[in-house]
Amino acid sequence: MPEPHLDRIHIRDLLQRCIIGIYDEERRDKQDVVINITLHADLRKAGQSDNIEDTVDYKAIKKQVIAMVDGSAFLLVERMAECIADICLSDPRVAQVDVRVAKPGALRFARTVEVEITRTQKERSS
Give the catalytic positions in this structure.
Answer: 103
Alpha-carbon gap, residue 94 to 41, rounded angstroms? 5
Query: Distance between CA atoms of 37 and 18, rounded to whole angstroms?
Result: 18
Task: Answer positive or negative: Cα dihedral of 91, 97, 103, 107.
Answer: positive
